[in-house]
Amino acid sequence: MPMIASSMMMVLLLHLPHAPLSGARPPPAGAAPLSPRTDPDPSRPRAAQLSPESVARRARPILAQHAAERCPSCGERVSQKKMRRHQAFCCPDLLDPAGWHAADRATVLEYVRRTYARHSLEARLMRLRFTPAAGGEAPSQRALGARLALSPRKVRDTIASVLHSIPPPAEPHAPLEVLYEDAHLLAVNKPAGVPVTPPHRLRTGSLLNRVIAHVGPAAPLPAPVHRLDLNTSGVLLLAKTGAAAARVMAQFEERRVQKTYAAVCAGVPPAAHTVVRAAICADGEATGCRRRACAAGEAGGLAASTGLWVVGARRGEGGGGGGSVAQLKQRCRERGLKVGGRKADLIERLGGALGLAEASLLLAAPEQGRTHQVRIHCAEAGAPLLGDDLYGRLQPDVIQRHALHALTLLITHPFDGKELELLAPLPEDMRRAIESLHLKPTELSSTNHCGSGPGWEHLHRLVGASIAGG
Ligand SMILES: *[C@@H]1O[C@H](CO)[C@@H](O)[C@H](O)[C@H]1NC(C)=O
């Protein structure tokens, strides 16, 4: 298995039946119990020279890192940090019991009935583990081991390998827009609101289930090589083979992939081209996946920068864009709006009475692709995304989800070495939002002197073409 980020590992664990499981193996049984750390470096100050307080300060993070719990099913000691990953391998049904329904157990049992001889070890173990008990509690793997005189590890590995061999279901009747396909890669246009992967491998409802239907049940399962938020639309790239996945993921890790998003925002960044440099910090436990720009001097953030280009904007004056009464009237006429009234009325009308004094259409090129990076950086630049319930401005009369679309992905083809630009046209809801905001296109000449991303001028033209009127 290629070296990949641990979050991506989770996706592969749950959804890649053909990937070797070696990389997914949980840590060895009986992980070392906590023992005081002995420091082999004699140049360091000895503990005796440190105050008890500073020793305690140093020890706390180490203790937290190594804190281990017992897996509820196999009973192995696993560090807290690795528990989710361990359970995804060992007992996915216990990882998120609310996400596993009776129907999922039935699916497992039906697969086992079709696949294994009735008295095989696999069939007996799976029946014992997944037949609903009267009390509702699944018997732990320790309990099963005791009952069948097997080691808990043997029980765990057998159950895990059966679970991971169940083919994930295809969804043949759901639409799939293919943007590019060859023997190694598949790029699709993800609609907003459809998740990339299902909550677990027995479920449908995700883009991956549509992709499985597209490539056919006999083909290896394509692996998504990057992520897109649930409510973001646009280019999603999948690798069809392990070799292609490894090469493309290496390009992502080495930041040799260029991603450009289109975003519709409330407000306008201060310049036609802006680079936002703001590290991204976690925002507390309670809010889950929410992030924020780090405060000045705050430690622990992830460095991030995003280039922003203004493609279209409406500034101040309620969106009239300024100008003489004659010019305003002309603009009203062009848009089929009423022409009568005072200057203020014209401006009000041109503003679309949306309550948005300023709005813009941006191209955003994140250098890193951190969680929520574009959403946070647009807000940092004074142009929060419309429809973004975490960092932006809700404006349901304009758009019903955060107005963010992965427009292009520029990669080097992993085998022929050619530049490959994958492009997903703007979706209907963003086109409508752009139209209703009456944005004025930004002159290309005013921004191209500081353009740095290859090919961004033609994106500017392409996206600019979607601005109604002009
Ligand atoms: C997706 O959009 C819907 C509608 O705006 C919102 O309620 C939901 O919280 C969003 N989900 C995520 C994960 O962003």
Q: Whose CA is nearest to atom 4 of ligand 1?
A: 401
Max Cα distance, the chain (Å): 90
Lowest mean pLDDT among 148-152, 205-209, 392-396: 392-396
Average pLDDT, the chain: 79
Kindly give the number of the ligand 1 atom that is closest to the alpha carbon of 401.
5
Q: What is the pLDDT of residue 41?
A: 43
Query: What percentage of residues in the chain have a pLDDT greater than 90?
Result: 41
Q: Whose CA is nearest to atom 7 of ligand 1?
A: 389
Q: How confident is residue 376, by pLDDT bands cut at 50, 70 and 90?
A: very high
Q: How confident is residue 344, by pLDDT bands cut at 50, 70 and 90?
A: low
- Residue 195 near residue 230, CB atoms below 8 Å: yes
Q: How confident is residue 120, by pLDDT bands cut at 50, 70 and 90?
A: very high
Our answer on whether the CB atom of 289 is closer than 6 Å to any ligand 1 atom is no
Q: What is the pLDDT of residue 185?
A: 97
Lowest mean pLDDT among 176-180, 301-305, 313-317, 433-437: 313-317
Question: pTM (2 decimals)?
Answer: 0.73
Which class for 281: exposed (0-12), middle (13-18), buried (19 or more C-beta within 10 A)?
middle
Lowest mean pLDDT among 35-39, 309-313, 386-390, 400-404: 35-39
Kindly give the number of the ligand 1 atom that is closest to the alpha carbon of 289.
13
Higher pLDDT, 381 or 8: 381
Centroid of ligand 1 to alpha carbon of 192 (angstroms): 10
Q: How confident is residue 409, by pLDDT bands cut at 50, 70 and 90?
A: very high
Q: What is the pLDDT of residue 1?
A: 34
Q: What is the pLDDT of residue 243?
A: 96
Pocket test for ligand 1, best of 228, 231, 385 (most atoms within 8 A of CB): 231
Q: How confident is residue 201, by pLDDT bands cut at 50, 70 and 90?
A: confident
Query: What percentage of residues in the chain have a pLDDT greater than 70?
Result: 76
Q: What is the pLDDT of residue 306?
A: 94
Q: How confident is residue 293, by pLDDT bands cut at 50, 70 and 90?
A: confident
- Residue 237 near residue 179, CB atoms below 8 Å: no
Q: Whose CA is nearest to atom 5 of ligand 1?
A: 401
Centroid of ligand 1 to alpha carbon of 401 (angstroms): 7
Q: How confident is residue 347, by pLDDT bands cut at 50, 70 and 90?
A: low
pLDDT tens digits for range 4-52: 333 343 333 333 333 333 333 333 333 333 333 334 444 444 444 555 5
Our answer on whether the CB atom of 133 is closer than 6 Å to any ligand 1 atom is no
Kindly give the number of the ligand 1 atom that is closest to the alpha carbon of 390.
14
Rounded CA separation 459/266 (Å): 21
Q: Whose CA is nearest to atom 10 of ligand 1?
A: 231
Centroid of ligand 1 to alpha carbon of 296 (angstroms): 29
Q: What is the pLDDT of residue 388?
A: 92
Our answer on whether the CB atom of 231 is closer than 6 Å to any ligand 1 atom is yes
3-state secondary structure the chain: CCCCCHHHHHHHHHHCCCCCCHHHCCCCCCCCCCCCCCCCCCCCCCHHHCCHHHHHHHHHHHHHHHCEEECCCCCCEEEHHHHHHHHHHHCHHHHCHHHCCHHHHHHHHHHHHHHCCCCCHHHHHHHHHHCCCCCCCCCCHHHHHHHHCCCHHHHHHHHHHHHCCCCCCCCCCCCCCEEEECCCEEEEEECCCCCCCCCCCCCCCCHHHHHHHHHCCCCCCCEECCCCCCCCEEEEEEECCHHHHHHHHHHHHCCCCEEEEEEEEECCCCCCEEEEECCEEECCCCCCCCEEECCCCCCCCECCEEEEEEEEEECCHHHCCCCCHHHHHHHHHHCCCCCCCCHHHHHHHHCCCCCCCCEEEEEEEECCCCCCHHHHHHHHCCCCEECCCCCCECCCCCCCCCCEEEEEEEEECCCCCCEEEEECCCCHHHHHHHHHCCCEECCHHHCHHHCCCCCHHHHHHHHHCCCCCC
Stretch 150-174: mean pLDDT, rounded? 92
Q: What is the pLDDT of residue 322?
A: 54
Stretch 303-310: mean pLDDT, rounded? 92
Stretch 312-318: mean pLDDT, rounded? 72
Pocket test for ligand 1, best of 401, 429, 430 (most atoms within 8 A of CB): 401
Our answer on whether the CB atom of 401 is closer than 6 Å to any ligand 1 atom is yes
Our answer on whether the CB atom of 389 is closer than 6 Å to any ligand 1 atom is yes
